[in-house]
Structure 1
Amino acid sequence: MTQKEGSSLLASLGAAFNLQFSLLRSNSNNVASKQHPLLQEFENRLSDSLDSLKPACEEKGYLSIHWLLQAMSVVLATHINVEALISESQLTLCLQRDDKWLNEYLDDSAKLLDVCNVLKEGISEVEQYQMSVQRALHNLDNREISCEFKYSRARNSLSECKEAINRKDTVYRQGFPKSKLENCSSMLRNMGEKLVNPKGLEAIRGNGFLNAIYGAKVTTIFLCGLLVTALTCKPKRPLSSLSVASHYKWSPSLISLQQRVKEDTDKRKNKGSIALLRELDSVDASVRRLHGILDQYLSGRAFPLSQEQAQELALDVDELRKHSSDLGQGLTPLEGHVNELFRMLIASRLALLDIISSSRT
């Protein structure tokens, strides 16, 4: 995705707004009865994008890094498609100083900027956890020191990994103040509950442009909420479901996707998964298993290891290395997607604030 493509869903609003500032007149009823072709195309694309996330889970599962990367790509593409809807159709909108949707958009975009910052911190925490895992693997590969000493150092690094996960879990289970991720989840939940579907004259202004804004908001709140949940350990509250207007073409796709993700995550939580991010959960399971084995060998001073013990240990180390590699490879592009969304939202706000300033002069 180029920087030009990702300029934002409102970055080209200036040209559209400056074409003509007017109220819809007598032809508004005709517009309402027939949806603008480009809006139809937007809804088709959004519906297809949401549907594409269902088969994408088959290999890695919901809330895997692979799936979340695709989900965030849907968010970014949806914003770009709204921008294209404006620039290609040169929609005529009415911009007034007291427009409710403008205030709502500015308020929601500010909250989504906060969400992006929390997501980046959450990803950074996982990266720090990943560094501890890599230190353990490095110690296990070190052939310059004795087995007992390198295994002791590896066990210490694995203990750090366990403690990091347990600390996050403790924050949620023992009455400590809410973490940033939990606060972020609550904010997204409140945003979803306050979403208002455009109705009446508002729904037909700009040939239905506000309907596209509504679709972009719903998609962003839902999929960013899933990423927040994936980065959270032992979330207290179950996944929430957005209540959306049923007349949009993409509505059934979103409702079906919500249900499938919720069923999948509920099953995993019932099985005792600490981390809902699948790769992190796999690494955590391998860390705990390998730590237990090393602790047993070190406590029993079982050195030198028998050939069978050495082979079993090597298999566990290889499994941890694989899971850690899967986790590490996905974190950088995932953070890149969050940064791209942040840039889009900033550009949107600057463009819109500039338009409002120009309209008041």
Structure 2
Amino acid sequence: MTLKEGSSILASLGAVLNFHFSLHRSSHTVSASAEQCPVLHEFETRLKERLDALKPAGEEKGFLSVDWLLQAMSIVLATHANVEVLIPESQLSLSLSRDDKWVDEYLDDSAKLLDVCNVLKEGISEVEHYQMLVQLALHTLDNKEIYGELKHSRARNALAECKEAIVRKDTEYRQGFPKSKLENCSSMLRTIGEKLVNPKGQEAYKGNGFLNAIYGAKVTTIFLCGLLVTALACKPKRPLATLSVASHYKWSPSLISLQQRVKEETDKRKNKGSIALLRELDNVDASVRRLHDVLDQHLSERAFPLSRKQARELAQAVEALRIHSSDLEQGLTPLEAQVNELFRVLIASRLALLDIISSARA
């Protein structure tokens, strides 16, 4: 793979291997700050604005709703794209020293984030499977060739399967303790976040602040992907993890404030007994349970043919499930596309970096 082919944050990494990685290392450095790195300043400003926009969007759309998560994942992708702008084209020295620990850290973290993407794709696929079960129940109720008690019985059975599916979603059993892939994924993200190293001093601003931007991209990816993991997990056992980040970045207060607000909302939802933190999935689950109860009551009372009141109650329950199911379905495809795009970006980054390392050390 050539540098030109890599369309990711490290696609042109050769340009970044400048003062610190140069064959012509200087024995002294000039005092640097974010103000002396205008492109980094622009990167941090954009990230701050995007994180600031997520908070009111959450109040409007609902935190951990599909629409809100789509906006959050678009920030992850945009942040990775913006890092590329920091690559100083005038400094093209290619020399990697053995003390460049950030390279190994990046390769290790990106490998783990690839695993995160795979788990997220599985989580979304399982929600899509759940959606198929919901559609089966609705199709049964729409079938004009089945009437009365038989239609109710088949639809109730399909909805019972929906209820069971959401409870066992993503559940694995290891050493006798139930732990889902999503929960393992959440733990891995928490560990990556705890081990993040914040660039300090002169080192942070070399290469137009490239390492600072890498840090911002990692933090953003870990935090927002972590929220998607939490949204897809049913009844997560651990509280929402809070990233501890350096406070001197422009975007730090925005991220800290957003973390606190999302945590408040998720804690509130969990205390109310929500089985799923993904808002649309929780709405579908509530509608499934409501419709199941209506059908079960009619079958228990053998209330056939239905009275006008009973028929109206049934129609309302069916319509509510149809609307909520449609809301969930419409958001899953673009959300899955964003996760696939992040996976592609991470792969391209790794290939570009490995290509550069190979060329520099040949």
Q: Which residue of 2 aligns with 1:334?
A: 335
Q: Which residue of 2 aligns with 1:204?
A: 205
Q: CA deviation at 1:169?
A: 9.0
Q: Which residue of 2 aligns with 1:8?
A: 8
Bigger mean CA deviation after superposition, 176-185 or 249-258: 176-185
Q: Which residue of 1 aligns with 2:146?
A: 145
Q: Which residue of 2 aligns with 1:62?
A: 63
Q: Which residue of 1 aligns with 2:188?
A: 187
Classify the secondary structure of the residue corresponding to 2:243.
coil
Q: How does 1:27-106 map to 2 (within 5 A)?
A: 28-32=29-33, 34-86=35-87, 95-106=96-107
1:314-358 deviation digits (Å, cap 9, x = unpaired): 011000000000000000000000000000000000000000000
Q: How does 1:1-361 map to 2 (within 5 A)?
A: 7-17=7-17, 21-22=22-23, 25=26, 28-32=29-33, 34-86=35-87, 95-168=96-169, 176-361=177-362
Evaluate the alpha carbon distance shift between residue 94 and residue 38 of structure 1 in structure 2; reply closer, same or farther with a 3 A threshold. Answer: farther
Q: CA deviation at 1:66?
A: 0.4
Evaluate the alpha carbon distance shift between residue 5 and residue 356 of structure 1 in structure 2; reply closer, same or farther with a 3 A threshold. Answer: closer
Evaluate the alpha carbon distance shift between residue 67 and residue 221 of structure 1 in structure 2; reply closer, same or farther with a 3 A threshold. Answer: same
CA contact (8 A) 2:37 2:205 kept: no
Evaluate the alpha carbon distance shift between residue 35 and residue 91 of structure 1 in structure 2; reply closer, same or farther with a 3 A threshold. Answer: farther
Evaluate the alpha carbon distance shift between residue 6 and residue 60 of structure 1 in structure 2; reply closer, same or farther with a 3 A threshold. Answer: farther
Counterpart code for 2:234:
C
CA distance in 2, matches of 1:316, 1:32: 60
Bigger mean CA deviation after superposition, 57-66 or 341-350: 57-66
CA contact (8 A) 1:12 1:87 kept: no
CA distance in 2, matches of 1:32, 1:114: 35
Classify the secondary structure of the residue corresponding to 2:30.
helix
CA distance in 2, matches of 1:121, 1:286: 24
Counterpart code for 1:47:
K
Q: What percentage of residue pairs aligned between the two structures are identical? A: 78
TM-score of the superposition, structure 2-length normalised?
0.93
Evaluate the alpha carbon distance shift between residue 91 and residue 300 of structure 1 in structure 2; reply closer, same or farther with a 3 A threshold. Answer: farther
Counterpart code for 1:310:
A
1:58-107 deviation digits (Å, cap 9, x = unpaired): 33210000000000000000000001221667687863244100000000
Bigger mean CA deviation after superposition, 274-283 or 12-21: 12-21
Evaluate the alpha carbon distance shift between residue 349 and residue 171 of structure 1 in structure 2; reply closer, same or farther with a 3 A threshold. Answer: closer
CA contact (8 A) 2:231 2:276 kept: yes
CA contact (8 A) 1:97 1:356 kept: no
For structure 1, which runs of at least 5 residues remain unmatched after alignment? none
CA distance in 1, matches of 2:24, 2:46: 29
Q: Size of the alignment, in residue pairs?
A: 357
Bigger mean CA deviation after superposition, 78-87 or 188-197: 78-87
1:262-300 deviation digits (Å, cap 9, x = unpaired): 001100100000100000000000001110110111122
Q: CA deviation at 1:207?
A: 2.7
Q: CA deviation at 1:203?
A: 1.4
CA contact (8 A) 1:116 1:341 kept: yes
RMSD over aligned Cα, in angstroms? 2.4
Evaluate the alpha carbon distance shift between residue 69 and residue 6 of structure 1 in structure 2; reply closer, same or farther with a 3 A threshold. Answer: farther
TM-score of the superposition, structure 1-length normalised?
0.93
CA distance in 1, matches of 2:220, 2:29: 28
CA distance in 2, matches of 1:102, 1:274: 41
For structure 2, which runs of at least 5 residues remain unmatched after alignment? none
Bigger mean CA deviation after superposition, 206-215 or 320-329: 206-215
Counterpart code for 1:7:
S
Evaluate the alpha carbon distance shift between residue 197 and residue 147 of structure 1 in structure 2; reply closer, same or farther with a 3 A threshold. Answer: same
Q: CA deviation at 1:170?
A: 7.4
CA distance in 1, matches of 2:90, 2:221: 23
